[in-house]
Structure 1
Amino acid sequence: MTAAKDRDTRERILHAAAELLAQSGGEPVSTRAVCQAAGVGAPTLYHHFGDKRGLLDAVAAYGFERYLAEKRAMPPADDPVQRLRDGWDLHVEFGLRHPAFYVVMYGSAQPGKPPTAAAEGQEILLGMLNDVARAGRLAVAPETAARMIHSAAVGVVLTLIAEDRHAPDDLSARTRDALIAAVTTPDEAAARGDTPLAAQATALRATLTASSAGIPLTAAERTLLDEWLDRLAASSA
């Protein structure tokens, strides 16, 4: 089998599995059904994916790529906090439009093995939060806020999928607003120059991280400064 034909066969199996999952309504999809849909034998499927877990991991990566294509296409917002809200809504809407994909992506995680394909999504979220931090609006470290928001968003989507919802509802909006209020400072406070010390420390750390090449500090000095800023942010929060 040539490399091109081998690649085409793998893609055909992957697309067949993705299509069956999308049509399954949340029911399990067997490797036998995937083989029939792709027109291949079980040895061919196992040759490409190892086992069912490997196939599902590949389908999850395919689902993440579809999600990230939408995430990358998000238009920029003048208000970084509003962009954070828009990112939440996009995440929830994607999950409810593609419930079978979403459950494979987020509902079947293995201990100590976060989905590899999720890394870019986390980086996009962290980038949004660093923008909020540089605006002086983030009350906790960007990494902490990212973990809080991601965990809450996944929990909301899985709950709505289990309830057979097809569109975001009050649960999503209330959870989103509560989380964003918990990790950000009011816009009015920033406009008055009344930014809490935690937000100031977080803003300075994010700004230094974004422009680290031009900072006249040694590596040891930078490490010490980061530690001080983290402590100020944590104690003030």
Structure 2
Amino acid sequence: MAELRPDSANRHRTRVKIVECAARLLRAQGAGAVTTRAVAQAAGMQAPTIYRFFEDKEALLDAVAEHVFATYVAGKSLADPSGDPVADLRAGWDTHIGFGLANAALFGLFADPGRGARSAATTAGLDVLRARVHRVAAAGRLRVPERRAVELLHAAGTGTVLTLLSVPPEHRDPGLADAMYDAVMRAVLTDVPTLPADDATAAAVAFRAVAPDLTVLSDAERALLSEWLGRAGTGGDRGQRDA
């Protein structure tokens, strides 16, 4: 990694300081508190300095959201998997719900489809979820295609956090997140690792998860096998063949 020149390093430090000060304001008081004047005062600089780094408040909020969420995702990525992929999936769910409730204003920013779609941190977070779901599939515990499971978990997690945040803390249903997770798991998990005779769809999903690692096959053979297994794993549903 190339070293930053002194002027570039100073500029980088100033930008980071601005973002961190804005993040503290966002956590403590919400997006409305993140004004140029307030951030500049918190950072100990003149307001015009902010505009040397960010075009407007929305650009600053984008940077704040990316900074905080990227730190959170990096922590998830570094977590060592256990020997139980289903338990790891549950742990990821609990962490996601906890992060959302602890960072209400930030989570609201990422719930905006426009902002989330252009976020590298959001993409990285989904990659972590996909990897965890893939491990469940490879263990023979997934009854639906991986893509369907990822989308169900992502939608359920986001919806649960937003629902809980819409209610004052003292009136929130403490069991809602658990009930939602259990409902999704009933839709996507088998009760036990499956054998071909037990559940053809789940077996196809599991086999497809490990097919890319079959080095005895050529690239073309692995691609063809994945296509066949994709059809078997969706019961011929064209809308899910590329899942």
TM-score tier after normalising by the smaller chain length: 0.7 to 0.9
Contact 2:195 2:203 in 1 (8 A): no
Which deviations, in whole Å up to 9, do the C-alpha atoms of 1:45-93 show, x marking residues without a partner? 2221222222111111112123224423545333211211111011001
Matched, 1:57 2:62: yes
Q: Could you say which residue in structure 2 is the equivalent of 1:30? A: 35
In 2, Cα distance between equivalents of 1:34 and 1:168? 35
Matched, 1:231 2:231: yes
Q: Could you say which residue in structure 2 is the equivalent of 1:216? A: 217
Distance change in 2, residues 1:118/1:111 (3 Å): closer
Q: Could you say which residue in structure 2 is the equivalent of 1:110? A: 114
Q: Could you say which residue in structure 2 is the equivalent of 1:89? A: 94
Structure 2 residue aligned with 1:165, among 161, 166, 169? Answer: 169
Percent identity over the alignment is 38
Residue identity matched to 2:183: A
Matched, 1:180 2:185: yes
Question: Larger relative CO (CA 8 A, sep 6+): 1 or 2?
Answer: 1
Superposed counterparts of 1:34-45, under 5 Å: 34-45=39-50
Structure 1 position 94, deviation (Å): 1.2
Q: Could you say which residue in structure 1 is the equivalent of 2:136? A: 132
Contact 1:109 1:115 in 2 (8 A): no
Matched, 1:66 2:67: no
Q: List runs of 5+ in structure 2 lacking aligned partners.
A: 1-5, 238-243
In 1, Cα distance between equivalents of 2:94 and 2:236? 30
Secondary structure in 1 aligned to 2:122?
A: helix
CA RMSD of aligned residues (A): 2.5
Secondary structure in 2 aligned to 1:139?
A: coil
Q: Could you say which residue in structure 1 is the equivalent of 2:154? A: 150
In 1, Cα distance between equivalents of 2:39 and 2:184? 40
Secondary structure in 2 aligned to 1:2?
A: helix
Structure 1 residue aligned with 2:125, among 121, 126, 135? Answer: 121
Secondary structure in 2 aligned to 1:110?
A: helix
Structure 1 position 41, deviation (Å): 3.5
Secondary structure in 1 aligned to 2:144?
A: coil
Distance change in 2, residues 1:117/1:80 (3 Å): same
Structure 1 position 100, deviation (Å): 2.2
TM-score (norm 1): 0.86
Secondary structure in 1 aligned to 2:52?
A: helix
TM-score (norm 2): 0.84
Q: Which moved more, 1:69-78 or 1:194-203?
A: 69-78
Structure 1 position 14, deviation (Å): 0.4
In 1, Cα distance between equivalents of 2:129 and 2:183? 17
Q: Could you say which residue in structure 2 is the equivalent of 1:203? A: 206
In 2, Cα distance between equivalents of 1:111 and 1:16? 21
Contact 2:21 2:42 in 1 (8 A): yes
Runs ≥4 in structure 1, deviation > 4 angstroms?
A: 25-28, 191-194
In 1, Cα distance between equivalents of 2:216 and 2:151? 28
Aligned residues between the structures:
231
Distance change in 2, residues 1:49/1:96 (3 Å): same
